């Protein structure tokens, strides 16, 4: 490829330290080192970008263009046994992006990672359609067998509706409005975060910024308006969205996947320049971390006082290679986008018994502090069920890098298995309930339990009619459960949840946090998908479910048709629940969220979903 002069980056290369890679430090913490600056190099723009289509005859995420349907070609494999540091060099005045390269252990990363500053998307850009892709799992054959067994078991479990808790315990809805929709992508990946002045909703493949009081966005548009573009031609295909609010830096942070071409897979990340962003070029600092031909799937976003954390699963084609956590130092408080950032990654992450961990989910830290945590499930779930979750501790080393153990610690839980797919009325298409992975986590002080720093998380597992939601409040310091429970029904499938305490942290003001809110989706052969919410006040029982919104149709979008004999619609893959940093100071706190509904119009050329946003008081 002939270099183009406008693509010149000041670059820094990390020392390889190959001799020490793959070995944990004295306390099981992966060693981390810094790199030094190197002279300016040129980087050529990638050619041959894939074309994507939402249509059944088109291609899926990351596939090379073809006139006929081709199999997914999301190549990825990555997880590093040691955390290496990247330093983003100072921007030259005339250059739109900055590069930094880091070597990794060749057993995990045959090519070097590239960290660069993205450029704003051109005005009026129509991005590539996100399309759809099958859920990526470590062992597709085993997953298909487990899912089939769960579906068969669910068919034998149908029963009458179970009684709900007393209506007096039901939570209060303070906001409830229609969210974003994109007919070119599935699933919705609906998520959101509340700040002091804005609520940000992200879906595949759109972004919307709302004030706290209006149902009409302050700004809305294609997702690339938020993330920017990795190349001048802006062929980025952006999806798998995440967003959080950080009370410490008073900024929003985001993460997405980004496929520039079949050989150029990235994680986009960035942060707002203020607490009141729009989608303008000056509202966000935009970066990307390149993985080459390897694909970092299902990025999950969390943080500590010092670092932005992204968990991910790594695939090379359909082969699972491990899971890791990428970290980036948080920006200083001064205005503008930093031109120097420390960053690195840790993995392959393992459970306490030495087996591979899967889908690490860093917690969104509500009370800023030096210690963060991530939660994961085991790579394999035995036929009798998995009996633990795995925690990974994140701290700051003396060198200013993130210290993350290669091997986590186990939290014992009741056995759980893969859930059954959820049925819908008047269609053979079922809804994907995933594979018992955790989908989000919140870390906050719980004043109702002696001020412990608690990690709240949830996942969908087999139970009830075939799928139920289990939630946990975990004391990560002791690796014990503070409290836990399930939302289950003998007649309805319960799935696609998000949980959060009502903790309020705004500057030096800290209140609430002993109560929680959890939102779920339910469906059955007689019930179109509905979003419902429950709450728990202190040591009281979990409330009955309260309806937020119902679907106007069953899901029959192009993703359902593309699943072939499985007849499975991609649902979720997750929902949102985040505590309000500016809720009223009396009563209880607020939790805001986003989730997915089915919508009319699903067809071979259109998705069949829409979204809903809401705010709830326990």
The β-bridge partners of 501 are: 516
Can you give the pLDDT at residue 91?
30
Can you give the pLDDT at residue 464?
97
Can you give the pLDDT at residue 109?
54
Can you give the pLDDT at residue 169?
76
Q: What is the mean pLDDT of residues 40-50?
A: 29
Under DSSP, the state recorded for 225 is H
602 or 45: which leads in pLDDT: 602
What is the sign, positive or negative, of the torsion defined by CA atoms of 214, 216, 218, 223?
positive
Q: What is the mean pLDDT of residues 137-153?
A: 95
User: Is 80 exceeded by the pLDDT of residue 307?
Assistant: yes
User: Is 50 exceeded by the pLDDT of residue 165?
Assistant: no
Can you give the pLDDT at residue 58?
34
pLDDT band at 490 (very low <50, low <70, confident <90, very high): very high
84 or 281: which leads in pLDDT: 281
Site of tokens 């330290």? 17
Can you give the pLDDT at residue 562?
87
Q: What is the three-state SS of 121-161?
A: CCCCCCCCCCECCCCCCCCHHHHHHHHHHHHHHHHCCCCCC
Mean pLDDT check: name the lowest of 74-78, 567-571, 604-608.
74-78
Mean pLDDT check: name the lowest of 40-49, 286-295, 427-436, 565-574.
40-49
CA–CA dist 310, 257 (Å, integer): 11
Mean pLDDT check: name the lowest of 147-161, 389-403, 440-454, 585-599.
147-161
Q: What is the mean pLDDT of residues 159-174?
A: 67
Count the Cβ atoms, other than its own, within 10 Å of residue 250.
17
CA–CA dist 484, 500 (Å, integer): 13
User: Is 50 exceeded by the pLDDT of residue 89?
Assistant: no
User: Is 80 exceeded by the pLDDT of residue 241?
Assistant: yes
Can you give the pLDDT at residue 112?
61
Q: What is the mean pLDDT of residues 25-44?
A: 30
Mean pLDDT check: name the lowest of 329-333, 451-455, 564-568.
564-568
Count the Cβ atoms, other than its own, within 10 Å of residue 101.
21
Where are the domains positioned within the chain?
Answer: 8-160+173-617
CA–CA dist 439, 330 (Å, integer): 23
382 or 157: which leads in pLDDT: 382
Q: What is the mean pLDDT of residues 465-480?
A: 98
Please, which residues have CB within 8 angstroms of residue 120's CB and are 6 or more apart in sequence?
A: 228, 229, 281, 286
- Model confidence pLDDT, tens digit, residues 577-596: 999 999 999 999 999 999 99
CA–CA dist 92, 98 (Å, integer): 8
Q: What is the mean pLDDT of residues 465-486?
A: 98
* DSSP 3-state percent helix, strand, coil across the chain (nearest 5): 5, 45, 50
Mean pLDDT check: name the lowest of 50-64, 448-462, 547-561.
50-64
- Whole-number Cα distances in Å, 206 to 119, 192, 200, 240: 18, 12, 11, 11
- Residue 355: CA count within 13 A, CB half-sphere: 15
Can you give the pLDDT at residue 108?
58
First to last CA, the chain: 58
Mean pLDDT check: name the lowest of 109-118, 155-164, 201-210, 418-427.
155-164
User: Is 80 exceeded by the pLDDT of residue 43?
Assistant: no
- Residue 350: CA count within 13 A, CB half-sphere: 17
User: Is 90 exceeded by the pLDDT of residue 84?
Assistant: no
- Model confidence pLDDT, tens digit, residues 511-536: 999 999 999 999 999 999 999 999 99
Can you give the pLDDT at residue 564?
82
343 or 615: which leads in pLDDT: 615
Can you give the pLDDT at residue 42?
27
Q: What is the mean pLDDT of residues 77-95?
A: 32
Percent of the chain with pLDDT over 70: 80
Mean pLDDT check: name the lowest of 120-134, 162-176, 404-418.
162-176
Q: What is the mean pLDDT of residues 532-551?
A: 96
Sequence-ordered alpha helix ranges (H) in 197-356: 224-227
- Model confidence pLDDT, tens digit, residues 345-402: 899 999 999 999 999 999 999 999 999 999 999 999 999 999 999 999 999 999 999 9
449 or 92: which leads in pLDDT: 449
Look up the pTM and report it: 0.85
Can you give the pLDDT at residue 113?
64
Can you give the pLDDT at residue 131?
73
pLDDT band at 111 (very low <50, low <70, confident <90, very high): low
Can you give the pLDDT at residue 550?
98
């Amino acid at each position: 490829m002939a270099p183009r002069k406008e693509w010149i980056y000041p670059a820094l290369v990390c020392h390889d330290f190959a001799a020490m890679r793959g070995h944990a430090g004295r306390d099981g913490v992966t060693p981390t080192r810094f790199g030094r600056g190197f002279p300016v190099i040129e980087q050529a723009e990638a050619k041959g970008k894939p074309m994507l289509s939402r249509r059944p005859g088109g291609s899926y995420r990351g596939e090379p263009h073809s006139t006929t349907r081709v199999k997914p070609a999301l190549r990825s494999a990555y997880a590093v046994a040691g955390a290496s540091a990247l330093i983003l060099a100072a921007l030259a005045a005339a250059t739109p992006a900055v590069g930094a390269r880091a070597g990794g252990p060749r057993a995990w990363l045959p090519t070097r990672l590239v960290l660069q500053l993205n450029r704003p998307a051109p005005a009026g850009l129509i991005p590539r359609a996100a399309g759809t892709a099958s859920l990526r799992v470590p062992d597709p054959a085993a997953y298909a067998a487990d899912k089939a067994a769960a579906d068969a078991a669910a068919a034998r479990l149908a029963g009458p509706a179970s009684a709900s808790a007393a209506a007096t315990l039901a939570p209060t809805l303070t906001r409830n409005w229609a969210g974003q929709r994109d007919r070119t992508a599935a699933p919705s990946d609906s998520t959101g975060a509340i700040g002091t002045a804005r609520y940000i909703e992200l879906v595949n493949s759109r972004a919307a910024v709302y004030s706290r009081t209006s149902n009409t966005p302050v700004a809305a548009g294609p997702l690339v308006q938020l993330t920017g573009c990795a190349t001048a031609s802006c062929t980025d295909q952006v999806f798998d969205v995440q967003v959080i609010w950080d009370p410490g830096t008073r900024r929003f942070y985001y993460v997405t996947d980004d496929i520039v071409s079949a050989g150029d897979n990235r994680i986009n990340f960035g942060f707002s320049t203020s607490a009141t962003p729009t989608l303008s070029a000056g509202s966000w600092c935009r970066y990307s971390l390149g993985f080459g031909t390897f694909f970092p799937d299902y990025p999950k976003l969390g943080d500590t006082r010092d670092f932005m954390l992204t968990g991910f699963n790594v695939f090379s084609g359909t082969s699972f290679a491990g899971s890791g956590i990428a970290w980036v130092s948080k920006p200083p408080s001064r205005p503008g986008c930093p031109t120097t950032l420390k960053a690195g990654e840790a993995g392959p992450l393992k459970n306490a018994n030495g087996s591979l961990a899967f889908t690490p989910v860093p917690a969104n830290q509500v009370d800023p502090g030096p210690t963060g945590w991530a939660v994961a499930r085991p790579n394999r779930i035995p036929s009798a069920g998995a009996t633990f979750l795995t925690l990974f501790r994140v701290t700051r080393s003396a060198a200013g890098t993130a210290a993350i153990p290669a091997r986590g610690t186990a939290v014992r839980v009741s056995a759980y298995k893969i859930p059954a797919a959820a049925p819908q009325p008047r269609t053979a298409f079922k809804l994907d309930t995933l594979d018992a992975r955790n989908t989000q986590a919140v870390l906050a002080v719980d004043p109702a339990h002696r001020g412990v720093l608690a990690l709240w998380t949830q996942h969908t597992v087999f139970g009830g009619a075939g799928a139920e939601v289990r939630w946990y409040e975990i004391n990560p310091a002791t690796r014990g459960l503070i409290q836990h429970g399930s939302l289950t029904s003998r007649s309805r499938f319960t799935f696609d949840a998000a949980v959060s305490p009502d903790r309020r942290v705004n500057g030096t003001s800290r209140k609430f946090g002993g109560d929680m809110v959890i939102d779920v989706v339910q469906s059955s052969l007689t019930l179109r998908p509905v979003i419902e919410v429950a709450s728990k006040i202190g040591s009281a029982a979990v409330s009955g479910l309260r309806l937020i919104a119902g679907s106007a149709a069953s899901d029959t979008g192009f993703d359902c048709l593309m699943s072939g004999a499985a007849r499975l619609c991609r649902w979720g893959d997750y929902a949102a629940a985040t505590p309000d940093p500016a809720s009223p100071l009396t009563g209880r706190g607020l939790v805001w969220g986003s989730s997915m509904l089915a919508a009319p119009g699903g067809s071979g050329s259109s998705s069949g979903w829409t979204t809903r946003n809401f705010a709830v008081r326990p």
